[in-house]
Amino acid sequence: MHGIDFFDVDHTLTRRSSGGRFVALAMRRRILPLRLLFLIPWYSFTYKLGVFRLRKFEKGFPYLHGMKRSVLEDIARESFETRLKNDLFAGAIALVRRLRAEGRHVVLATSSIDFIVQPLAEHLGVAGLLATTLEFAGEVCTGRFVGRPMFRREKKDRVLALCAAEGVDPSECSFYSDSIYDMPLLEEVGRPVAVNPDFRLRRIARARGWTIIELA
């Protein structure tokens, strides 16, 4: 089997955060509290600085407790159609479609929640999706995660588990990412690609001779 091309989503394929787009619409729908309006910029700022800590949301996103799956999926799809679709880098769309045309297996590997990025995967024609998963009791969200969020080493572990299940050698795979947070996985694949990288990842990519691409 050919290797797999893994893609991060936020700021790699899209200019804006998929989760941020979802939360903004959910607040307008009064599904989420407006106080998140003040918290999101702080989390975004600490993320960009490289000092983001996942501990607060490591076990779940309690604000979604009690929400029906159908409601959350409807918000996710509207968020994609009205906002996130326009956030896609044209170069990213062309790259994914070219890889698929070449017969490559493309998989999105993101810390975002699965139902938020599912419309994006469908839009790109990508069948493979590894993402953070929320727990549901029947059709009602518990607010907890299934397992751990797909962040840092957890992303690496889940990608390597998929490779093992598919009989694929990670050395034959590529991973496209913008973020220093994805270093654990970038170091495991045969072709790490820094896409519009943050300043720390850019510095490391240059030092190690990794491919750097700028998408617009």
User: Domain of 33: which CATH number?
Assistant: 3.40.50.1000
**pLDDT, tens only, 192-214:** 999 999 999 999 999 999 999 99
- Count: domains in the chain: 1
pLDDT at 2: 78
The average pLDDT across 98-102 equals 95
How many whole angstroms separate alpha carbon 127 and alpha carbon 99?
A: 13
pLDDT at 61: 87
Q: How confident is the model at residue 60 (pLDDT cuts 50, 70, 90)?
A: confident
- pLDDT at 43 exceeding the cut of 60: no
The domain in which residue 109 lies consists of 4-213
Instruction: Check residues 42 and 169 and name the one with the higher pLDDT.
Output: 169
Q: Mean pLDDT score of the chain, rounded to an integer?
A: 91
Among 40-49, 90-99, 162-171, which is the least confidently predicted range?
40-49
